[in-house]
Chains A and B, each alone.
Chain A
Amino acid sequence: MKRDILLHMRSMSKHYPGVQALDSVDFDLFAGEIHALVGENGAGKSTLTKILAGAEQSDSGTIEVSGRTIAIREPADARRLGIGIIYQEFKLVPELSVAENIFLGDERRFLRHGFVRFSLMHAEASKVLSRLGETIDPVLPVRKLSVSQRQIVEIAKALSNHVRILAMDEPTASLTDREVENLFAVMRNLKTDGVGIIYISHRIEEIFRIADRITVLRDGKLIHSCPVAEADSEMLVKWMVGREADREAHQWSPKGIAPSQRREILRIENLTSDRVHGISFGLDRGEILGLAGLTGSGRTELVRLIFGAERRSSGRIVVDGREVSVRSPGDAIKAGIGLLTEDRNLDGLVLQMSILENITLSSLSDVAFGPFVNGSKERRAASELVRRLRIKTRSVETPVETLSGGNRQKVVLGRWLMTQCNILIFDEPTAGIDIAVKREIHALIRGLASEGRGIIVISSELPELLQLCDRIAVLCDGIVAGILTREEATQERLMKLATSYA
């Protein structure tokens, strides 16, 4: 089938201090196709889309849209050309309403006599959201939304415009299955309308479901490009990482810990706030407990309460058989509870600090002599983690803000691995992490469990939970709808529980 070439990016190069993010990459896109862009963390995928969006300038290379060479100097240029972007790191204004965010920069269509007609804007916003099967109130300020709701708004923002080219940088990183289905339906519609879509995701199975073509980047270079039918997931991983990936880093046996040591390490009793109600469960040493649920079901809220990041209205937290008073994250860490937060940029990392400083932030006392930080000890510990997590960087001194999304995630992970916490809670630990490292992280989590720690994992990817957990608790509307063991759990039963009160 011969179709129109919609977009052709030729020999795009982009250099950042210390890295060649793109090295003369060619990329093309047909009308009505979904072209997946894959690669390890830091391969250069986001950089390519940012250049297309006018958010960054390439050092060299040309861009043709519909056969005409054009220059994209600023975001407004891309907009005029009908290019829409969903950014990996959200670009929303927390204080503005959902509707205002969706139509930001595009208010012209609601103007009358120079005044913005908000009622019309809200109606339009609801329309766009309902296309995604969502019912977020368009008047709500974005700061009140959960991460996945923000993701939806970000998607709606890109869809609100009449686009010919749509670049989606990990739109599903924090979406649950149902939302992913809705999104795919929308994408298929766009496809039939002749829109060309660039789709970036680390969820390999999604790529095989939705994409027509695949382009693989590694270290800023184009490695391979082919129709999706000509590839399978093992080949894909090989292209991405440049070697055979070992399927399972560690052989994992459930509860690989002596029964005698299988004491309960954490017990939550009747935990309540305005968004979750009467939550109780226990967690054993060596156990991995999954938390499943739909967007907004309260998983994040629950773990933040356990961690003392938010104030609970009632409930007890028992660690190792003793009730602990957790009023702040500091208290939680003292009690041996660590939380890897959902939004690495917002509340995970100190972006301008170095990798080193971010990793050791919660365990400075372990590398300190009195009030003084022991520089060499600190560096040794951090370097070890950088190596183990394969964080792509020249030096541990690199500021985190220059890292790619996935590598940032690894840095926060590193921080919690370094602490001595016996109870580790991971909220979407592999969001935005490439497939190779994802396997390593799974292995790591299992390793932590087998050392006798208790682990809680939140993930919007049910397969991930099914693969990883001993038990899975399902939240629905802030209530535990049920807890399934590894044997009982199936995708269907989990979904059913997750929607039991909806």
Chain B
Amino acid sequence: RHDKPQATKVIGVTLLTRGHMFYRDLEEGIRTEAAQYEYEVIITAAEFDLGKQISQIEDFVAQGVDAIVVCPVDSRGVGTGIKRANEARIPVFTADIAAQEGEIMCHIASDNVAGGRLAGEYLAKVLRQKGSVAIINQPALTSTLDRVQGFRESLARYPGIKIVADVNGFGVRDRALQVSADVLQANPQLDAIFGINDDSALGALDAVRQFKRTNIVIVGYDATPPAQEAILRGTALKADVIQYPSKIGSTTIQTIRKFFLGESIPSSIPVEVGLVDSTILHNALTTGAVNR
């Protein structure tokens, strides 16, 4: 392994976590794309621990990788790690979440605030601009804070819609189920729930089923396969903000490749977000547009 041919490039990746499907898909995108160019990728995950993420970047520097991809745990804090890489003249790319300190070659991401807005607009539409809404939140991460910020911003424009609960489901399905049950208990008239990721939304869906509530609309985020399936089955989960994590992954590798080849690259590449409901998914299935 040590005497690999000169040409083989090594790319170090530090993900925010592997506990969420989103990053599994992003990782997959990176792997498949990198395999095409025969790049070697070293993938680690910080599991929401910034200190660990910085250590991982430092380990990459010690290894002398050719490029580093970071999905920052925190936009600012990761700066010290990035600066270490900058000092060692190793190019750094960020994916999904931006870094605000240190030099970044390129940032490839979908916009979380925009995604939150999409969810808000969708709910405003189906609720006909009035009703009560709950958020299954995970207010510990910049990305989810941004989603909720976008969501709240868009609903602020509709005085008829009230956010009656904002609870922490820790981004995992079992906790989300538990807190959603309590929210439903406290709000017999609840009209809609926004889950900051699909585990949160699906946990809410489990709770809704437990209480056999009808007339509730749930919107999720990420459009993971279980969520898509739930939407297609006509459950309370009606729509999902969709990002294209594997596309973020593959785009990142493509950008790095351009960099290796000496081509010029932009400082940021937006990857589209969208909103899917059962109609869109249905069409996509038949045309194969959202195949995963």
A and B touch in the complex (CB under 8 A): no
Interface residues of A (CB under 8 A from B): none
